[in-house]
Structure 1
Amino acid sequence: MLRLSVNDEISRLRAVVLGTAKSPGPIPKPEEAYDPKSLEHILAGTYPKEEDMIREMEAFSKVLKKYDVAVFRPEVLEDCNQIFSRDIAFVIEDKLIISNILPDREKEVDAILHVLDKIEEDHILHPPEKVHVEGGDVMPWNDYIFVGTYTGADYADHITARTNVHAVEYLREQFPKKKVLSFELRKSKNAKENALHLDCCFQPLGKGKAIIHKNGFLVEKEYQWLVDFFGKENVFEITADEMYHMFSNVFSITPEVVVSEKSFTRLNSWLRVQGFTVEEIPYAEISKQEGLLRCSTLPLIRE
Structure 2
Amino acid sequence: MLELNIQNETATLKAVVLGTAVSNGPQPTLEEAYDPKSVQHILKGTYPKEEDMVAEMEAVAKVLEKYNVKVFRPKVIEDYNQIFSRDIAFVIEDKLIKANILPDREKEYEAIKHVINQIDSNKIITLPEACHIEGGDVMPWNDYIFIGTYTGKDYSDFITARTNKEAVEEIRTLFPNKKVISFELRKSNTDPKENALHLDCCFQPIGKDKAIIHKNGFLIDEEYNWLINFFGKENVFEIDENEMYHMNSNIFSISEDVIISEKNFTRLNTWLRNHGFTVEEVPYAEIAKQEGLLRCSTLPLIRE
User: Would you say 1:16 and 2:16 are equivalent positions?
Assistant: yes
Contact 2:10 2:208 in 1 (8 A): no
Q: Which amino acid aligns with 2:200?
A: D
- Indicate the SS of the match to 1:294: coil
Aligned to 2:78: 78
User: Equivalents in 1 of 2:209, 2:145: separation in Å?
Assistant: 16
Aligned to 1:185: 185
User: Equivalents in 2 of 1:227, 1:6: separation in Å?
Assistant: 24
Aligned to 2:224: 223
User: Equivalents in 2 of 1:14, 1:69: separation in Å?
Assistant: 5
User: Equivalents in 2 of 1:208, 1:133: separation in Å?
Assistant: 26
User: Equivalents in 1 of 2:32, 2:59: separation in Å?
Assistant: 29
User: Equivalents in 2 of 1:231, 1:4: separation in Å?
Assistant: 31
Q: Which amino acid aligns with 1:14?
A: K
Q: Per-residue CA shift, 1:15-55, capped at 9, x if unaligned?
A: 00000001111000011100000000011100000000000
Shift, 1:153, TM fit: 0.5
User: Equivalents in 2 of 1:284, 1:224: separation in Å?
Assistant: 30
Shift, 1:196, TM fit: 0.2
User: Equivalents in 1 of 2:49, 2:32: separation in Å?
Assistant: 17
- Indicate the SS of the match to 2:63: helix
Q: Per-residue CA shift, 1:133-187, capped at 9, x if unaligned?
A: 0000000000000000000011001000000000100000100000000000000
Q: Per-residue CA shift, 1:272-291, capped at 9, x if unaligned?
A: 00000000000000000000
Q: Which amino acid aligns with 1:122?
A: N
User: Equivalents in 2 of 1:43, 1:22: separation in Å?
Assistant: 23
User: Equivalents in 2 of 1:52, 1:122: separation in Å?
Assistant: 39
Q: Which amino acid aligns with 2:211?
A: A
Aligned to 2:264: 263
Shift, 1:208, TM fit: 1.2
Aligned to 2:30: 30
- Indicate the SS of the match to 1:147: strand
Q: CA RMSD in A?
A: 0.4
Aligned to 2:283: 282
Shift, 1:207, TM fit: 3.6
User: Equivalents in 1 of 2:80, 2:149: separation in Å?
Assistant: 26
Count of residue pairs brought into register by the alignment = 303
Pairing of 1:190-229 with structure 2 (within 5 A): 190-229=191-230
Q: Per-residue CA shift, 1:46-67, capped at 9, x if unaligned?
A: 0000000000000000000000
Can you give the 5+ residue segments of structure 2 that lack an aligned partner in the other structure? none
User: Equivalents in 2 of 1:207, 1:89: separation in Å?
Assistant: 25
- Indicate the SS of the match to 2:192: coil
**4+ residue segments displaced more than 2 Å:** none
User: Equivalents in 2 of 1:283, 1:193: separation in Å?
Assistant: 22
Can you give the 5+ residue segments of structure 1 that lack an aligned partner in the other structure? none
Which TM-score applies when normalising by structure 1? 1.00
User: Equivalents in 2 of 1:292, 1:116: separation in Å?
Assistant: 23
Q: Per-residue CA shift, 1:248-299, capped at 9, x if unaligned?
A: 0000000000000000000000000000000000000000000000000000
Which TM-score applies when normalising by structure 2? 0.99
Aligned to 2:252: 251
**Percent pairwise identity:** 72
Q: Which amino acid aligns with 1:282?
A: P
Pairing of 1:1-303 with structure 2 (within 5 A): 1-188=1-188, 189-303=190-304
